[in-house]
Amino acid sequence: MEQGQMPQGNHPEHGGGSSARGKVILLAVVLVAIALAAWGIVKRGTHFHSLDGRTEDAAIPPVTLITPQPGPKTREVDLPANLAAWYEAPIYAQVSGYVKMWYKDYGAHVKQGDILAEISTPSIDAQYAAAKAHYNVILARYNLALITTKRWTALKSTQAVSRQEVDVQAANAAAQKAELEAAAHEVDRFQALEDFKKIVAPFDGIVTSRLVNVGDYVNAGGGNVNSRGSASELFSVADVHRMRVFVSVPQDFASVISPKITAELTVPQYPDRRFKATFLATANAFNASTRTVTTELTLGNADNLLWPNSYATAHITAPGNPNILILPEGAIVFRAQGSQVAKVINNHVHLVNVTVGINFGTTVQVLSGITKSDQLIANPTADLLEGDEVKVVPTTPGYNTPTKTQQEEDQKAVRQHDANPDEAGSR
């Protein structure tokens, strides 16, 4: 080694440079580690807050809102009905005897006063003849009393008879006059019985029944006496130029009854025809056993297509109530407090009691408690409480809003649910 040179390993400049680079590298590593740690802390904090927000959002139930729909402008219901003649009369005998002849059969068109049958009454004939003979006897006595009274009155001025005797003759004439009047009434009574021998039509119409034959014995105040001794009518006559329609309206639908209602009738024998009937009267009281009110309609029958005692279906139309609103059935909850809906105001729930009307299947009438502008939850859950916060989400088009066809089907189901012939209105 030459003098003046230092050993290579102890070169001062080379050692100082390596140490500086090491410190820089170490510092860079530390800074990167600190940055990574800080980024991780921030990331975890952000993720925590995000999860916390999502949890809070998940705790708020999403709901869809609907508004009440107005009810139909008209109310319709199908109900069973019975047809009856405008007038119908069972005809009984007023005298006892045997049927001499009948002249009108089933379905015969008759005028008022037409003879339907004749009754043979020998006993009444004899009593009638005796009454007329008795009248003639009393008439002769009365005439004699009048002549005698006139003669005695003429002799009164001659002092040939006493005043007492004249008064006696006058009283005798008055008594004979009274007996004559009584005899005349007796003749009239038997004359009326003689007239009852002819069974006549009480009004224009058709013969709907004939329960008598030649030779049958009929009883006064009754009719044809059968083997058991009971009496039935001889004939029935019905005036069918107009018909009465009797409908038993259930209590749920009684509010539609008014003079404004109309009805279209269908009968099994004419399935493709519609007969229009109008309101005539209502009983204004419910039947205690059926909870229905008898309502009477009327319609013309000039062509005699409709027959008495026919069964019909009455499609009744009445003006609707504008105050009645319609909601989907799912919008109503039933709790201890009664029927309720969930109204949403400022994203918070307010439970409102409502009065429910007719259930149409998918929709329900609401009679009171809400307005047309209320925002209601379409399907409130049972755990929803007053004041709960909710999140409103867009409503799916058509969701919980029945189509017109569906509403018509609901109405049709309601109209037909009471169409039971056994519950049809009766006279």
- 55: pLDDT confidence band, cut at 50, 70 and 90? low
pLDDT of 414 over the 60 cut: no
Average pLDDT over residues 89-102: 93
Q: pLDDT band for position 71 (50/70/90)?
A: confident
* 211 and 339 both lie in a single domain: no
Helices 122-156 and 163-195 pack at an angle, to 10 degrees, of 160
Range with lowest mean pLDDT among 4-18, 62-76, 217-231: 4-18
| Whether 333 and 227 share a structural domain | no
The predicted pLDDT at position 34 comes to 83
* % of the chain exceeding 90 in pLDDT: 44
302-341 per-residue burial string, b: 16 or more CB within 10 A, e: under 16:
eeeebbbebebbbbbebeebeebbbbbbebbbeeeeebbb
Q: Is 269 a domain residue?
A: no
Q: What is the mean pLDDT of residues 158-163?
A: 74
The band of 98, judged by pLDDT with boundaries at 50, 70 and 90, is very high
User: Does 97 share its domain with 228?
Assistant: yes
Is residue 102 domain-resident?
A: yes
Indicate if 228 and 329 belong to the same structural domain.
no
pLDDT at 6: 44
* Strand pairing class (62-63; 391-392): parallel
pLDDT bracket for residue 154 (50, 70, 90): confident
Range name among 75-79, 227-231, 247-251 with the lowest pLDDT average: 227-231
- Lowest average pLDDT, out of 82-91, 149-158, 272-281, 408-417, goes to 408-417
On whether both 103 and 223 belong to a single domain, the answer is yes
Considering only CA atoms, which of 261, 281, 275 is closest in space to residue 307?
Answer: 275
Given a cut of 80, is residue 186 above it in pLDDT? yes
Of residues 420 and 328, more confidence is placed in: 328
Residue 236 has pLDDT above 90, yes or no: yes
Contact 138, 217 (CB under 8 A): no
pLDDT in the model for residue 23: 75
pLDDT tier at 112, thresholds 50, 70, 90: very high
In a domain, 317, yes or no: no
Provide the pLDDT for residue 181.
93
- 386 vs 39: CA distance, rounded Å: 44
- pLDDT level of residue 227 (50, 70, 90 thresholds): very low
2: confidence class by pLDDT, cuts 50, 70, 90 = very low
Does residue 74 register a pLDDT over 50? Answer: yes
Q: Domain end: 214, 232, 250, which one?
A: 232
Q: Is residue 63 part of a domain?
A: no
Q: What average pLDDT does the structure give for the chain?
A: 82
Residue recorded with tokens 């005698």? 148
Q: Is residue 352 part of a domain?
A: yes
* Structure confidence at residue 36 (pLDDT): 77
Residue 154 belongs to a domain with what CATH number? 2.40.50.100
Opening angle at CA 87, ends 81 and 93, nearest 5: 125
Range of the domain at 131: 93-232
Per-residue model confidence as pLDDT tens digits over 309-364: 999 999 988 877 777 899 998 889 988 888 999 999 998 999 999 999 878 788 88
Note the pLDDT of residue 7.
46
Q: Decide which of 216, 232, 248 is a domain's last residue.
A: 232
Residue 399 has pLDDT above 70, yes or no: no
CATH code for the domain in which residue 357 is found = 2.40.420.20
In a domain, 106, yes or no: yes
- Picking from 153-157, 178-182, 269-273, which range would have the lowest pLDDT averaged per residue? 153-157
Comparing 66-75, 184-193, 257-266, the range with the smallest average pLDDT is 66-75
Higher pLDDT, 410 or 293: 293
The whole-number pLDDT of residue 427 equals 47
pLDDT given at position 276? 95
Answer yes or no: is 370 within a domain.
Answer: yes
Q: Confirm whether 281 is domain-assigned.
A: no
Q: Please tell me the predicted confidence (pLDDT) of residue 20.
A: 75
* Both tokens assigned to 86: 């405008």
Question: What is the pLDDT confidence band of residue 293, given thresholds at 50, 70 and 90?
Answer: very high
Instruction: Determine the Cα–Cα distance for residues 372 and 71; give it in Å rounded to an integer.
Output: 11
Q: How confident is residue 248, by pLDDT bands cut at 50, 70 and 90?
A: very high
Query: Domain total for the chain?
Result: 2
User: Which of residues 232, 255, 277 is at a domain's end?
Assistant: 232
